[in-house]
């Protein structure tokens, strides 16, 4: 009978250890972890995913949890540390209820519980979020709109950033990211803009080390992180040629006498061919050549003589991006060459380097992120990327909820001011644990719930997040808890009458430090669903089988999982050496 | 799987006081283990997929590929905490319980011996309890606990030996002052025997930690011999 409890105990210890690592970095008051390598490299991070990836975890359950965390982070870019905290608290809650029930948790019971929790996440959670939390959020935002300075977008960005970088850096980043978004958007479709920024972020930003963070800015045009090989300032808009191969043919030198004669003729002929190609370029009035490979010296000489600017060794993915946004024209002959119209070409000095800047007609802007050290720069780039991933997730889920209503006029209107629309529809809440408190209250007071035990488990576990956020000031947490829950009770009562809304004292009175931020309700809901799915996987592990030879390198974790998710109860042995 | 709630769900009774204490203690121990494991993870230790054979905690591996069990090597064992033979506090609480249960008798100064508290039977006087407590806070826990916690193969040798040694003193301890000497001499003999064994083990030991523990055992034996000598002289 003992081995049936082992898997829950092992889960608790594994996730408990991860929780102890991650909990110290949660929230605006959290710290960072410094990792050092024997080679002297250091990494300072408080990003949940980097933290977990840097640890040496060989335990299969730990690797499984790590996989789940990475999958969740890919979708929402938010809540990796909260994931681990929630998971650990839920597991401990399950273990506690096991101790209280004076019986052992057998594997079928655990699996039953896991299924019930998943069912709660699908039905009751949806219910509560749609019918209780969303109306509350929209009412709250409409009542406090006078206090919400700045647009909803700024508050969303502020809410995301403030928990991830220091205060001084947060102000700068907030300003720069907001500016970047508005410049790229240019009053167009916000949904498309966010999607565009999110999928092309790697081309739209340039990291620069050695400068203070305050030097981060938004530059018009596309910055390419190489310098011009041949540079003449072209006036006005120019035609540019994008090519992916070298003009001169490449040939291997052969050291035989007879081959020399053939080579001589070959070289002469290939030179002629190259001259013809270059002459045709001049006919097309190409003034700029962008090449993804290095060109031979003769091409450089030709460029200098004919006042053509040449940029070499550009990333081919970036060249593809440029062709896409500039509606490039593909030449029929020779192949692999595109012609684009560029608004202007410039040389910019960023940090200690000179880079090329290409202006396009499609209002591209580049976000230049500066930081004194490479580690800090990585963090800032990561946070900026995360902001847009989070916004993308929010806009996607908002559009999904809007589409069933199929009101064309309303949908086009909301697209003009997507973020205001989201706020009015109740898609955002203030940061700082409000969502967790709301969900806790509604889960405990859900009258028509078909599974009160699971709701109670989940409700108790949810409070671990605000408790950790305010770990430095426990009294504040208790204050918040009492006032907020009292307010909620009042609101619940008056909601029936729908006359007036009681003055909600929490939130701004509580968080006096700065203007509060907002966070997305759908992101938080997704976090909960992901945690419950991971919990289901963990609880359904019947046995851990150790093999002597390693499983295949790539899908290693997947094949381990197939062995682990073995629901046989009686005949599964504990640990075998294959 | 069907989503029916188990019948057991509705038969929940609140746990009793003792059970709550056990649950609380176990929870605290688990939290300590998790915290230690988290600290070691941050120091660069690897979390292995194996569990320790003795206590079931997950093993960590340091950079020199040496396996390390956090619970066995840093925390006291869960069970030993309540064993009066190994823990002074547990012994003291047992003594007090017995004192409260029965009337104090003017006999038995065996409490002042440095033997394990099992030798103290139910009738000590209050002041002798204090003496017992002060004596117990010294070497005896060191003598008894270190052999148990050395996780080498030789540990199998110890548990049968120690109860055997412990049974001898209680028989002697019921006697009064006049029969001091046989009890004290048997105590001395036992400690010397332990000392000899420990020196032998120390010579054969290859692990650093085992050697450290054996040295502390030897030190404990020496101190108890000294206290025994003082008793004999007084």
Q: Is residue A560 part of a domain?
A: no
Closest-approach residue (CA) in chain B for A19: B38
Tens-place pLDDT, residues A382-395: 999 999 999 999 99
Contacts of B58 in chain A (CB under 8 A): 10, 13-14, 17, 59
User: Which of B58, B81, B100 is at the close of a domain?
Assistant: B100
> Is A75:A61 a contact under the CB 8 Å cutoff?
no
Domain enclosing residue A199, as ranges: 144-220+367-424
pLDDT of residue A407: 54
- Poorest-pLDDT segment among A64-73, A211-220, A356-365, A414-423: A414-423
Residue B6 to residue A112, Cβ atoms within 8 A: yes
Residues counted in chain B: 234
Question: Tokens 């209780």 — which residue?
Answer: A132
The helix (H) or strand (E) run that includes residue B233 is helix B208-233
Q: Is residue B25 part of a domain?
A: yes
Residue B47 to residue A14, Cβ atoms within 8 A: yes
From chain A residues 433-472, the ones with a CB under 8 A of any chain B CB are 451, 453
Of chain B, the percentage scoring pLDDT greater than 70 comes to 53
Task: Indicate if A269 and A157 belong to the same structural domain.
Answer: no
pLDDT of residue A255: 44
3-class DSSP state for residue A358?
Answer: strand
Mean pLDDT (chain B, rounded): 69
Q: Is residue A567 part of a domain?
A: no
Strands of the sheet containing A205-209, edge to edge, are: A205-209, A365-371, A217-220
Tens-place pLDDT, residues A83-103: 999 999 999 998 888 766 655
Of chain A, the percentage scoring pLDDT greater than 70 comes to 82
pLDDT of residue A121: 86
Q: Is residue A561 part of a domain?
A: no
pLDDT of B173 above 50: no
User: Which of A363, A379, A404 is at the close of a domain?
Assistant: A363
User: Which of A498, A513, A535 is at the close of a domain?
Assistant: A535
Task: Indicate if A163 and A273 belong to the same structural domain.
Answer: no
pLDDT of residue B22: 82
Tokens describing residue A403: 């589409």
**Burial, B168: exposed, middle or buried (Cβ in 10 Å; 0-12, 13-18, 19+)?**
middle
The beta-carbon neighbor of A58 closest among B12, B39, B48 is B48
User: Which of B82, B100, B118 is at the close of a domain?
Assistant: B100
DSSP of A58-103: -SHHHHHHHHHHHHHHHHHS--HHHHHHHHHHHHHHHHHHHHHTTS
pLDDT of residue A474: 85
Task: Indicate if A103 and A168 belong to the same structural domain.
Answer: no
Q: Is residue B72 part of a domain?
A: yes
Tens-place pLDDT, residues A415-453: 567 888 888 888 888 888 889 999 999 888 887 777 888
Q: Is residue A575 part of a domain?
A: no
pLDDT of A15 above 90: yes
Count structural domains, chain B: 2
Residue B37 to residue A100, Cβ atoms within 8 A: no
Confidence of residue A248 (pLDDT cuts 50, 70, 90): low
Q: Is residue A558 part of a domain?
A: no
Domain enclosing residue B49, as ranges: 16-100
Task: Indicate if A350 and A231 belong to the same structural domain.
Answer: yes
Q: Which tops the pLDDT comparison, B150 or A543? A: A543
pLDDT of B17 above 60: yes
* Averaged pLDDT for residues B166-185: 55
Q: Which tops the pLDDT comparison, A551 or B215? A: B215
Count structural domains, chain A: 3
- Least Cα distance to B223 among B162, B146, B167, B159 occurs for B146
The beta-carbon neighbor of A111 closest among B1, B34, B45 is B1
Q: Is residue A566 part of a domain?
A: no
Confidence of residue B179 (pLDDT cuts 50, 70, 90): very low
Task: Indicate if A248 and A330 belong to the same structural domain.
Answer: yes
Residue B57 to residue A96, Cβ atoms within 8 A: no
Of chain A, the percentage scoring pLDDT greater than 90 comes to 27
Task: Indicate if A228 and A356 belong to the same structural domain.
Answer: yes
Angstroms from B70 CA to nearest CA on chain A: 12
* Averaged pLDDT for residues A352-367: 90
Q: Is residue B185 part of a domain?
A: yes
Looking up residue A266, the CATH number of its domain turns out to be 3.50.7.10
Tens-place pLDDT, residues B61-78: 998 999 999 888 877 655
Task: Indicate if A186 and A280 belong to the same structural domain.
Answer: no
CA count, 13 A, side-chain hemisphere, A239: 11
Residue A16 to residue B12, Cβ atoms within 8 A: no
User: Which of B100, B116, B135 is at the close of a domain?
Assistant: B100
Residue A56 to residue B42, Cβ atoms within 8 A: no
Q: Is residue B135 part of a domain?
A: no
Confidence of residue B86 (pLDDT cuts 50, 70, 90): low
Interface of B with A (CB under 8 A): 1-3, 5-6, 8-9, 12-15, 19, 23, 27, 30-31, 33-35, 37-39, 41-42, 44-51, 56-58, 61
pLDDT of residue A493: 78
Q: Is A3 on the interface with B (CB under 8 A)?
A: no
Tens-place pLDDT, residues A100-158: 665 566 777 888 888 988 988 888 899 888 888 888 888 888 777 765 556 788 889 99
Task: Indicate if A259 and A300 belong to the same structural domain.
Answer: yes
> Is A400:A526 a contact under the CB 8 Å cutoff?
no
Task: Indicate if A123 and A103 belong to the same structural domain.
Answer: yes
pLDDT of residue B162: 43
Tell me: cis bond preceding A320? Omega within 30 of 0 counts: no
Contacts of A111 in chain B (CB under 8 A): 1
Closest-approach residue (CA) in chain B for A99: B23
Q: Is residue A564 part of a domain?
A: no
pLDDT of A360 above 50: yes
What is d(CA A243, CA B96) in angstroms, rounded to the nearest whole number? 91
The beta-carbon neighbor of B49 closest among A6, A111, A544 is A544
pLDDT of residue A423: 83
């Amino acid at each position: 009978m003992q081995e049936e409890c082992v898997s829950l105990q092992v889960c608790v210890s594994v996730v408990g250890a991860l929780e102890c690592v991650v909990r110290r970095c949660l929230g605006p008051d959290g710290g960072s972890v410094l990792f050092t390598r024997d080679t002297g490299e250091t990494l300072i991070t408080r990003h949940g995913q980097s933290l977990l990836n840097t640890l040496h975890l060989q335990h299969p359950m730990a690797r499984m949890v790590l996989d789940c965390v990475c999958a969740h982070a890919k979708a929402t870019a938010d809540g990796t540390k909260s994931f681990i905290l929630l998971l650990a608290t839920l597991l401990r809650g399950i273990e506690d209820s096991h101790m209280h029930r004076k019986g052992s948790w057998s594997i079928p019971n655990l699996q039953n519980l896991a299924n019930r929790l998943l069912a709660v996440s699908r039905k009751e959670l949806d219910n509560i979020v749609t019918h209780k939390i969303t109306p509350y959020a929209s009412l709250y935002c409409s009542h406090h709109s006078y206090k919400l300075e700045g647009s909803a977008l700024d508050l969303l960005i502020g809410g995301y950033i403030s928990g991830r970088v220091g205060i001084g850096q947060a102000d700068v980043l907030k300003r720069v990211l907001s500016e970047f978004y508005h410049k790229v958007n240019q009053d167009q479709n916000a949904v498309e803009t966010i999607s565009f920024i999110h999928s092309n972020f790697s081309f739209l930003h340039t990291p620069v080390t050695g400068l203070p963070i305050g030097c981060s800015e938004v530059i018009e045009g596309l910055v390419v992180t190489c310098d011009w090989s041949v540079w003449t300032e072209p006036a006005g808009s120019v035609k540019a040629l994008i090519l992916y191969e070298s003009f001169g043919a490449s040939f291997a030198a052969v050291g035989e006498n007879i081959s020399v004669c053939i080579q001589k003729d070959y070289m002469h002929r290939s030179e002629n061919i190259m001259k013809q190609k270059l002459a045709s370029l001049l006919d097309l009035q190409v003034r700029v050549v962008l090449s993804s490979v290095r060109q031979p010296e003769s091409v450089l000489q030709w460029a200098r003589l004919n006042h053509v600017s040449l940029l070499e060794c550009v990333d081919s993915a970036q060249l593809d991006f440029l062709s896409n946004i500039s509606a490039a024209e593909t030449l029929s002959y020779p192949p692999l060459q595109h012609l684009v119209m560029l608004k202007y070409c410039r040389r910019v000095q960023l940090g200690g380097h000179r880079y090329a800047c290409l202006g396009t007609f499609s209002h591209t802007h580049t976000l230049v992120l500066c930081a004194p050290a490479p580690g800090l720069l990585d963090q800032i780039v990561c946070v900026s990327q995360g902001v847009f991933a989070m916004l993308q997730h929010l806009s996607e889920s908002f559009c999904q909820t809007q589409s069933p209503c199929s009101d064309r006029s309303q949908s086009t209107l909301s697209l003009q001011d997507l973020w205001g629309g989201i706020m009015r529809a109740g898609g955002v809440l203030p940061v700082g644990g409000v969502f967790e408190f709301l969900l806790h209250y509604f889960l405990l007071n859900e009258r028509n719930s078909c599974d009160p035990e699971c709701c109670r488990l989940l409700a108790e576990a949810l409070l671990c997040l605000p408790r950790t956020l305010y770990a430095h000031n426990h009294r504040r947490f208790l204050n918040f808890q009492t006032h907020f829950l009292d307010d909620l009770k009042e609101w619940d009562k008056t909601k029936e009458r729908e006359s007036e809304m009681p003055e909600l004292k929490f939130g701004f009175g509580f968080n006096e430090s700065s203007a509060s931020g907002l966070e997305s309700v759908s992101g938080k809901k997704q976090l909960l669903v992901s945690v419950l799915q991971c919990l289901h996987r963990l609880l359904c592990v019947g046995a851990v089988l150790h093999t002597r030879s390693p499983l295949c390198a790539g899908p290693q974790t997947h094949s381990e999982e197939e062995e682990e998710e073995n629901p046989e109860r009686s005949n599964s042995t504990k640990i075998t050496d294959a | 799987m069907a989503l029916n709630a188990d019948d057991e769900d509705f038969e929940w009774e609140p746990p009793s006081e003792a059970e709550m204490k056990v649950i609380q203690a176990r929870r605290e121990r688990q939290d300590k283990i998790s915290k230690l494991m988290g600290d070691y993870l941050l120091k660069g230790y690897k979390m292995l997929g194996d569990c320790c054979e003795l206590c079931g905690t997950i093993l960590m591996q340091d950079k020199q590929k040496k396996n390390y069990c956090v619970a066995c090597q840093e925390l006291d064992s869960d069970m030993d905490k309540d064993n009066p033979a190994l823990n002074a506090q547990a012994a003291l609480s047992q003594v007090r319980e017995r004192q409260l249960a029965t009337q104090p008798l003017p006999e038995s100064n065996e409490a002042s011996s440095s033997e394990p508290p099992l030798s103290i039977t139910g009738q000590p006087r209050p002041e002798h309890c204090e003496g017992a407590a002060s004596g117990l806070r010294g070497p005896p826990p060191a003598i008894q606990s270190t052999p148990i916690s050395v996780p080498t193969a030789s540990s199998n040798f110890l548990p049968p030996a120690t109860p055997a040694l412990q049974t001898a003193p209680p028989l002697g301890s019921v006697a009064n002052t006049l029969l001091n000497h046989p009890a004290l001499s048997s105590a001395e003999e036992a400690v010397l025997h332990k000392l000899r064994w420990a020196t032998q083990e120390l010579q054969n030991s290859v692990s650093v930690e085992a050697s450290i523990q054996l040295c502390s055992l030897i030190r404990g034996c020496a101190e108890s011999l000294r206290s025994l000598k003082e008793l004999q002289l007084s």
